[in-house]
């Protein structure tokens, strides 16, 4: 898979290394091209000269940036995003991490409206970056929920997620991104409140297939 990762922080850097390890062709970009080169060197990815360059080299684009940066990046990318699968891994947290900045609609739905020609999939936002290096719990892959309106795009992202050793779980249409963003916020709040180590993950248990007739 030709993957562009925009942002080389905790998520972007970790994901780049994991995706290279899974055999993907990964290009990264950052605000500062020198930072992209640094992270490319440590992850085995290649560094783009900028966000547009990264997107032009890819089929799947992961937004691994603070949510507040997304609108500017979308404006910068313009038509370069047309037809691309765009993985929205962001969580729209406020500055104090005490709430989401969205109300009644998800960041991912807002993004899809901004880039109608792209195929937005909400994914990886519910999984802490620490899990890229430890994608299983007790030998069982950690669940990675995803949501989107384009079935083929979701299938592509599910393949990406599975290649990282996580278990993709299709949560439904992009509307479900509202729940995924709240779920991630809950996990963040739990870790911040209780002083946990930012490794907790949600796992569905119990039967998850239709009963045999
Ligand atoms: N950390 C987690 O475990 C986790 C898990 C799931 C989802 N998320 C979400 O994923 C997103 C990234 O989180 P993070 O923890 O990786 O944040 P981070 O460590 O602060 O990294 C953010 C990255 O985005 C880059 N960036 C900012 N504006 C940019 C632009 N215009 N163009 C290109 N790159 C830009 C930053 O580069 P500069 O520093 O050079 O500006 C930095 O490399 C957030 O929305 C977060 O809520 C985080």
pLDDT at 210: 87
pLDDT at 66: 98
The pTM for the full model equals 0.98
pLDDT digit string (tens) for the chain, length 213 residues: 999 999 999 999 999 999 999 999 999 999 999 999 999 999 999 999 999 999 999 999 999 999 999 999 999 999 999 999 999 999 999 999 999 999 999 999 999 999 999 999 999 999 999 999 999 999 999 999 999 999 999 999 999 999 999 999 999 999 999 999 999 999 999 999 999 999 999 999 999 988 887
- Establish whether residue 178 lines the binding site of ligand 1, counting it when its CB lies within 6 angstroms of any ligand atom: no
* Residue extents of the structural domains in the chain: 2-194
Picking from 169, 170, 165, 161, the residue whose alpha carbon sits closest to that of residue 141 is 165
- Establish whether residue 73 lines the binding site of ligand 1, counting it when its CB lies within 6 angstroms of any ligand atom: yes
DSSP character for 80? G
What DSSP letter does each residue of 127-185 carry, written as one string? Answer: S-GGGGS--EETTEEPEEEEEES-HHHHHHHHHHHHHTT-EEEEEESGGGHHHHHHHHH
pLDDT at 7: 98
pLDDT at 199: 97
pLDDT at 212: 84
Residues listed for the chain: 213
What are the CA-CA distances from residue 179 to residues 173, 184, 185 (Å)? 11, 9, 10
- Establish whether residue 67 lines the binding site of ligand 1, counting it when its CB lies within 6 angstroms of any ligand atom: yes
What are the CA-CA distances from residue 44 to residues 12, 39, 58, 137, 139 (Å)? 13, 8, 16, 26, 27
Q: Which fold has domain 2-194?
A: Rossmann fold (3.40.50)
Q: For ligand 1, what atom is nearest to the CA of residue 124?
A: 6
Picking from 22, 150, 99, the residue whose alpha carbon sits closest to that of residue 14 is 22
pLDDT at 94: 97
Q: How far is the CA of 213 from the centre of ligand 1 (A)?
A: 47
- Establish whether residue 6 lines the binding site of ligand 1, counting it when its CB lies within 6 angstroms of any ligand atom: yes
Q: Which tokens is 169 given?
A: 């779980």
Contact 85, 119 (CB under 8 A): yes
Other CB atoms within a 10 A radius of the CB of residue 155 amount to 15
């Amino acid at each position: 898979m030709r993957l562009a990762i925009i942002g080389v922080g905790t998520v972007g850097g970790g994901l780049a290394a994991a995706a290279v390890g899974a055999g993907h062709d990964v290009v990264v970009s950052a605000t500062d091209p020198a930072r992209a080169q640094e992270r490319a060197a440590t992850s085995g990815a290649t560094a783009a000269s900028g966000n547009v360059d990264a997107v032009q080299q890819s089929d799947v684009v992961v937004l691994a940036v603070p949510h507040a940066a997304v609108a500017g990046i979308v404006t910068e990318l313009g038509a370069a995003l047309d037809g691309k699968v765009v993985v929205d891994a962001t969580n729209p947290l406020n500055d104090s991490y005490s709430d989401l900045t969205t109300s009644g609609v998800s960041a991912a739905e807002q993004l899809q409206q901004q880039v109608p020609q792209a195929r937005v999939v909400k994914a990886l936002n519910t999984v802490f970056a620490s899990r890229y290096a430890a994608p299983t719990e007790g030998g069982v892959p950690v669940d990675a929920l995803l949501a989107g309106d384009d079935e083929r795009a979701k299938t592509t992202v599910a393949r990406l997620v599975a290649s990282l050793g996580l278990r993709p779980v299709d949560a439904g249409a992009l509307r479900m991104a509202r729940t995924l963003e709240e779920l991630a916020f809950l996990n963040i709040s739990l870790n911040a409140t209780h002083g946990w180590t930012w490794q907790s993950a949600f796992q569905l248990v119990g039967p998850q297939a239709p009963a045999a007739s």
